[in-house]
Amino acid sequence: MVSSVKGEKPTRFGTGEEQSFSSTGPTGHRQRMRTRVLTAGAGSLADYELLEMLLFPGVPRRDTKPLAKALITHFGSLAAVLEAPAEALKAAGATRANAELLELVPLAADRLAAPKAPVRTDLGSWDKLLAYCAAHLAHAPTSFLHVLFLDSRNQLLADERFKTGERFETEGNPAPEGMSAPPPACVQGGAQVGLEKERIPVPQLVSSIMQRALALHACSLITVRLAGADVQPDRQLLHDAPLVQALLHSAPLLAVTMHDHVVLKGRRWRSFRHLEQQGW
């Protein structure tokens, strides 16, 4: 049948030449859905509408609402549809492209829910180590030994304090004259271990440090000491030598590398490794 209006070109219905209205049909419906999401947010969609939009890419030229409702009816819920295997989805009427896309949704959700990997401080060079110390340890109490536990990439896992007073002392090896000796104790995770009146010998302190290294899965460590106001870095390093030697001996037994022991005083620093290389 040919219909015409005076002054207008005749239109032949049923031949694909009729006027197209963008607000009707699957194309218009999809555009309205997208506009709705942009204006009101995806939270405004019902479960079947959300699934309907997820089905768009796999069914490019057909209304997906009936399929979305059929899948939810078949599996029982939107969550069940998204958790269904690809073969079950295809058996329920979904296209192969639909099934492949829907399988990705739970995976994407798991990735979003996974905790983000922590951004760790890189201490893989002297400049980076000294910059970290200047930023974080400049005003730390001198009565603490800081142990920097590192991963396999020399990134900081933890900076923990071990309270020892101004020096270390081993049994049968008294400290040189003129050094004060407040009773040491070990601090881990903010809690003080041991009684204040007890003196923790080097072997026990080394044991505490290595236990923390194992608990943190550390691959290496650096110890940092802040020298007191009346103590020169070289002198402090000399007094710390028994502990450093004990760590150098014990750490490799547990597959942990003892990189160095550093004494800081303001902008001045001394390294056990550097002085050792110089024949100190």
Does residue 43 have a pLDDT over 60?
Answer: yes
Instruction: Give per-residue pLDDT as tens, 18-27.
Output: 443 344 455 5
Does residue 121 have a pLDDT over 90?
Answer: yes
Mean pLDDT, the chain, integer: 77
Which of 113, 137, 160 is a domain's end point?
Answer: 113
Place of tokens 């040491």: 184
User: How far is it, in rounded angstroms, from Cα 50 to Cα 37?
Assistant: 10
How many CB atoms sit inside 10 A of residue 156's CB?
20
Are 99 and 138 members of one domain? no
Does residue 177 have a pLDDT over 60?
Answer: no
| Mean pLDDT, residues 24-52 taken together | 77
Query: What residues contact 246, with CB distance under 8 A and at least 6 apart?
Result: 202, 203, 206
120 in a domain, yes or no? no
Q: Is this model's pTM higher than 0.75 or not?
A: no
Are 69 and 141 members of one domain? no
Which of 113, 145, 169 is a domain's end point?
Answer: 113
Which of 69, 89, 113 is a domain's end point?
Answer: 113
Are 151 and 243 members of one domain? yes
Alpha helices for the chain (secondary structure H): 25-40, 47-54, 65-75, 78-83, 86-91, 96-113, 126-136, 202-215, 233-250, 272-277
Does residue 209 have a pLDDT over 80?
Answer: yes
Q: How many domains does the chain have?
A: 2
Does residue 59 have a pLDDT over 70?
Answer: yes
Are 90 and 136 members of one domain? no
Query: What residues contact 92, with CB distance under 8 A and at least 6 apart?
Result: 70, 71, 74, 75, 84
Domain carrying residue 105: 23-113
User: How far is it, in rounded angstroms, from Cα 264 to Cα 225?
Assistant: 6
Could you give the C-alpha distances from 27 to 30, 51, 181, 259, 264, in angstroms and in order?
A: 5, 17, 83, 65, 70
Please tell me the predicted confidence (pLDDT) of residue 256. Answer: 96
Q: Residue 200's pLDDT band (boundaries 50, 70, 90)?
A: low
Whether 247 and 258 have beta carbons less than 8 Å apart is answered as yes
Q: Residue 218's pLDDT band (boundaries 50, 70, 90)?
A: very high
Which CATH number characterizes residue 172's domain? 3.40.140.10
Q: Which CB contacts under 8 angstroms, 24+ apart, belong to 26-34? A: 26/61, 26/62, 26/63, 26/64, 29/63, 29/65, 30/56
Could you give the C-alpha distances from 233 to 87, 110, 122, 182, 189, in angstroms and in order?
A: 71, 51, 25, 19, 27
Are 97 and 139 members of one domain? no
Q: Residue 178's pLDDT band (boundaries 50, 70, 90)?
A: very low
To the nearest whole percent, how much of the chain has pLDDT over 70? 75
Are 52 and 82 members of one domain? yes
Highest mean pLDDT among 107-121, 163-177, 179-193: 107-121
